[in-house]
A and B are shown apart, each in its own frame.
Chain A
Amino acid sequence: GEDVEQSLFLSVREGDSSVINCTYTDSSSTYLYWYKQEPGAGLQLLTYIFSNMDMKQDQRLTVLLNKKDKHLSLRIADTQTGDSAIYFCAACLSGTYKYIFGTGTRLKVLA
């Protein structure tokens, strides 16, 4: 079945860029998503990319998709302390509405 992997931790200084990486195994995944989760809260949709795109930019967020390598990344420009959270990537299984979530990357922004 689909497997989605992320690195567990990332620490950056305020003002730097953060890059969070994700790999997945199901090449037929149609949509790929990035969600943010703050402590004790639900998941906030940040952005998504359709599988026929290779890049999407939305203000400080840039998503890159390498479909050949099944690699997805989220770049946050000018990272702020408020960006500290857990970031999940999720792949939507082809032909279903089900998501497979990655393990989550805990981003810590140092002032």
Chain B
Amino acid sequence: GAVVSQHPSRVICKSGTSVKIECRSLDFQATTMFWYRQFPKQSLMLMATSNEGSKATYEQGVEKDKFLINHASLTLSTLTVTSAHPEDSSFYICSASGQRGLANQETQYFGPGTRLLVL
């Protein structure tokens, strides 16, 4: 249980285009979703936190106009990388937390990640 999916798993795009990544909680309602970025052989860096129906809270140094986050429902959040450039190439991982039966509400369940390559 507590499954989170991401789509697409891999995407290659040209510089200057925008890319949308979806994150879905499949069997629970995610009151909060998180977006992380992971560089090769490094830890996860939190980009932003989003709560359903409200604006995302971005971490320091993350450009909100560059990385648009929408959390329109309790099961879906999207991250749009606008005007992507090669330096945006990375592994993007989402996570979701929320009440599910007796599950710990503070526990984050992670998606499988999306590898973005910008040419």
Interface residues of A (CB under 8 A from B): 30-31, 33, 35, 40-45, 48, 88, 92, 97-99, 101-104
Contacts and interface: CB of A to CB of B under 8 A. Distances in A.
Given A40-B115, A43-B93, A97-B32, A88 B49 contact: no
B104 to A, nearest CB: 7
29 contacts: A30-B106, A31-B106, A31-B107, A33-B107, A33-B108, A35-B110, A40-B115, A41-B112, A42-B6, A42-B93, A42-B111, A43-B44, A43-B95, A45-B2, A45-B107, A45-B108, A48-B107, A88-B44, A97-B34, A97-B97, A97-B108, A98-B34, A98-B46, A98-B49, A99-B34, A101-B44, A103-B42, A103-B43, A104-B43
- Kindly state the interface size class of chain B when it binds its partner: 20 to 34
Given A42-B112, A99-B34, A102-B43, 14 more contacts: A30-B106, A40-B113, A41-B113, A42-B93, A42-B111, A43-B110, A44-B110, A45-B2, A45-B108, A97-B32, A97-B97, A98-B49, A99-B108, A104-B43
Interface of B: 2, 4, 6, 32, 34, 42-44, 46, 49, 93, 95, 97, 104, 106-113, 115
B56 to A, nearest CB: 13
Contacts of B32: 97
Instruction: Identify whether the interface residues of A are mostly helix, strand, loop, or mixed.
Output: strand
A97 B49 contact: yes
B42 to A, nearest CB: 8
- Of A42, A43, A102, A104, which is in contact with the most chain B CB atoms at under 10 Å from its CB? A42
Contact of A88 (B34, B43, B109, B113): B43
